[in-house]
Amino acid sequence: SESLAPGFLAECEREQLHHVQSIQPWGCVLGGRTGAPIVEVVSANLPAWTGWIPEAVLGQALTTLLPEFPPQTELTDITNAPDAWMLAASDKRFYPALLAGPSGPLDGLLSCNAHNWLLELEPALPSEQQADAYRPVPHRLYRMPYSERDWASHCQYLADELRTASGFERVMIYRFRHDGCGEVIAESLRDGLPPYLGLRYPASDIPQIARQLYRLNSHRQIPNIAAPPVPLLSLEPEAVADLTLSDLRAVSPVHLEYLKNMGVTASLSFSILISGELWGLIACHHSAPRHLALPVRLRCAEMTQVFTLAISGYQSTQRLMDLNESDQEILALLAALRLVDDERDLIAELGTGRANVIDHTLAQALLSLARATGAALVDASNIVTVGQTPEVSDIRALVNWLHETVTAPIFVTDRLAALYPEAIAFAELGSGLMAVRVDGYRETGDRWFLWWRPEQPHTVYWAGDPRKGALFDEQRQVLSPRSSFARWIETTARQSEPWTDADWLRAKKFRSLVLHDINARFLGR
């Protein structure tokens, strides 16, 4: 597996995808410099598609070739608008049946960024397919999911509808996680295909430059991985055309290999943008060549666009519910803590310094507050543990380290071992740590509340999945989903599920309420 060498991955990140000087052969392109109508670049297949000879077209004004089209103003940058992140994709201009080519009408797509304008021509949708392509987006997609179950069925509905609309064999909603790796969260597939649902893939499967291109384009179509690319011909041989906004841009050879290894011949993906960030992709696969005409792609992109509204809505609902829930959790935890402290007077009772099992309610409240699998209450003389935690001696050493190293009252990391090598010993059950220090807790001095989360691969469930057999194909190449997943485990060793802002806020709120409690008791005495 030579291609797993770090040098190879760095190489991937350097590939200037938008500067490739060729296109896929399902259309042709003319281009020029932003602001000027002169055609400075055309694809070599121009004659077959338009009947025009490249030598005759290069150097001509587009306005001479197409007198009615387009207005000069459209050849100026649309991506430099202040709200470009919203507009870039939607501001490509679509001109149905712009031109009659030798083999039928051609649709035009005009795009423009800071460097180049591009006019791409591709076969227009046959009239018998038009009724389908122009059907409105299903109304159900506009319904806002409210509960987790609504959300799951909403995702499934979108995947199913997109599979119908696109005719692809497999449609996946692929969601990026905090560290750039991704997970298939919903899937619709033809009977008999192995599911990829729930699988994770490393961030390196989609390099940053590719992500940037998907941020700026609503979709990416690769109808046939075997189709030979067509070179661009340029007025100035040295000039490099910018294909950032091109639908036809030729595909990176590495990605073609990747698709081949996955058994995919045609792929189509739609970008899901939330607040300008790439939240995920809808990835569609087909084992035979498959090309969708522009209006059909645009309809699918529109369905995806509507789906982003659902995501935003669902996220807001979740945040509100989470806030409300966390208040209740914190109150329950405080009450349980009070009870333990009062009734048994923790300090006196646990004075032996041994770990103790504490009240069940307290234990549950403690773990659920931080969505953790282990927790401990630590003060100068006692350590009380709940769930899966390191050994008491390891906890003591950890707290000493926290005392010396951490000044902030709340400390979170999803890779403790990287900061504190002794944590390697318990990485499996405690790769992630959240620590909250409460100063001057009654007579005992500082008290620490510690929460652990296990190493990530152990919380990802697909091993043991009855469907996995089909995926464990040892004959497959380096970049098959299976080895891709193995690579993901490799890159996330000794890391836990990350702590979110919500986790941190809960800890902060908890801490301030504990402090408030202490003060109230102190004054009450």
Residue type, 299: R
Q: Which of 112, 184, 346, 370 binds ligand BLA (CB under 6 A)?
A: 184
Distance from C-alpha of 358 to C-alpha of 346, rounded to nearest angstrom = 10
- State the minimum distance, in angstroms, from the CB of residue 346 to ligand BLA: 50
Q: Where is 502: in which H helix or E strand? A: helix 501-524
**Residue nearest ligand BLA (C-beta atom):** 12
Q: Which of 283, 402, 416, 438 binds ligand BLA (CB under 6 A)?
A: 283
216 in contact with ligand BLA (CB under 6 A): no
The residue range among 249-257, 291-299, 310-318, 359-367 that interacts with ligand BLA, by the rule CB under 6 A, is 249-257
Nearer of residues 220 and 453 to ligand BLA, judged by Cβ: 220
How many Å from the N-terminal Cα to the C-terminal Cα in the chain? 69
Nearer of residues 201 and 499 to ligand BLA, judged by Cβ: 201
Nearer of residues 413 and 456 to ligand BLA, judged by Cβ: 456
Distance (Å) of CA 219 to CA 108, 133, 246, 283, 458:
16, 16, 10, 10, 34
337 in contact with ligand BLA (CB under 6 A): no
The residue range among 117-125, 142-150, 204-212, 347-355 that interacts with ligand BLA, by the rule CB under 6 A, is 204-212
Q: Where is 392: in which H helix or E strand? A: helix 392-405
β-sheet bridge partners, residue 280:
175, 272
Nearer of residues 174 and 452 to ligand BLA, judged by Cβ: 174
- State the minimum distance, in angstroms, from the CB of residue 104 to ligand BLA: 27
Q: Which of 479, 480, 499, 514 binds ligand BLA (CB under 6 A)?
A: 479
Distance from C-alpha of 140 to C-alpha of 307, rounded to nearest angstrom = 10
Number of other CB atoms surrounding residue 405 within 10 Å: 10
Binding residues with ligand BLA: total (CB under 6 A) = 26
- State the minimum distance, in angstroms, from the CB of residue 51 to ligand BLA: 29
210 in contact with ligand BLA (CB under 6 A): yes
- State the minimum distance, in angstroms, from the CB of residue 240 to ligand BLA: 17
Q: Which of 111, 116, 188, 204 binds ligand BLA (CB under 6 A)?
A: 204
- State the minimum distance, in angstroms, from the CB of residue 373 to ligand BLA: 28
Residues 6+ apart with CB under 8 A from 29: 23, 41, 42, 43, 118, 119, 120, 121, 232, 246, 248
3-state class of 194 per DSSP? coil
196 in contact with ligand BLA (CB under 6 A): yes
Q: Binding string, 162-181, against ligand BLA, x = CB under 6 A? A: ----------x-x-------
363 in contact with ligand BLA (CB under 6 A): no
Cβ atoms of 201 and 230 closer than 8 Å: no
3-state class of 236 per DSSP? coil
3-state class of 260 per DSSP? helix
Nearest residue to 95 via CA among 55, 48, 53, 62: 62
Q: Which of 39, 251, 336, 423 binds ligand BLA (CB under 6 A)?
A: 251
254 in contact with ligand BLA (CB under 6 A): yes
- State the minimum distance, in angstroms, from the CB of residue 434 to ligand BLA: 30
206 in contact with ligand BLA (CB under 6 A): yes
Distance from C-alpha of 81 to C-alpha of 145, rounded to nearest angstrom = 33
The residue range among 202-210, 367-375, 398-406, 452-460 that interacts with ligand BLA, by the rule CB under 6 A, is 202-210
Q: Where are the alpha helices (DSSP H) in 247-359?
A: 253-261, 294-344, 346-349
252 in contact with ligand BLA (CB under 6 A): yes
Nearer of residues 285 and 511 to ligand BLA, judged by Cβ: 285
Distance from C-alpha of 524 to C-alpha of 515, rounded to nearest angstrom = 14
Nearer of residues 267 and 326 to ligand BLA, judged by Cβ: 267
Q: Which of 15, 160, 446, 517 binds ligand BLA (CB under 6 A)?
A: 15
For residue 273, what are its two tokens?
């943008």
Distance from C-alpha of 34 to C-alpha of 47, rounded to nearest angstrom = 24
Q: Where is 70: in which H helix or E strand? A: none
Nearer of residues 255 and 506 to ligand BLA, judged by Cβ: 255
Cβ atoms of 214 and 22 closer than 8 Å: no
193 in contact with ligand BLA (CB under 6 A): no
Nearer of residues 252 and 491 to ligand BLA, judged by Cβ: 252
Q: Which of 220, 290, 299, 437 binds ligand BLA (CB under 6 A)?
A: 220
Residues 6+ apart with CB under 8 A from 37: 61, 62, 63, 72, 75
269 in contact with ligand BLA (CB under 6 A): yes
Q: Binding string, 432-471, against ligand BLA, x = CB under 6 A? A: ----------------------------------------
394 in contact with ligand BLA (CB under 6 A): no
Distance from C-alpha of 354 to C-alpha of 351, rounded to nearest angstrom = 8
246 in contact with ligand BLA (CB under 6 A): no
Distance from C-alpha of 305 to C-alpha of 276, rounded to nearest angstrom = 13
For residue 63, what are its two tokens?
């306005």
Nearest residue to 51 via CA among 5, 103, 92: 103
Nearest residue to 307 via CA among 282, 275, 276: 282
Number of other CB atoms surrounding residue 375 within 10 Å: 25
255 in contact with ligand BLA (CB under 6 A): yes
The single residue listed with the structure tokens 């405080």 is 334
Binding-site ranges for ligand BLA (CB under 6 A) = 12, 15, 17, 172, 174, 182, 184, 196, 201, 204-207, 210, 220, 222, 251-252, 254-255, 258, 267, 269, 281, 283, 479
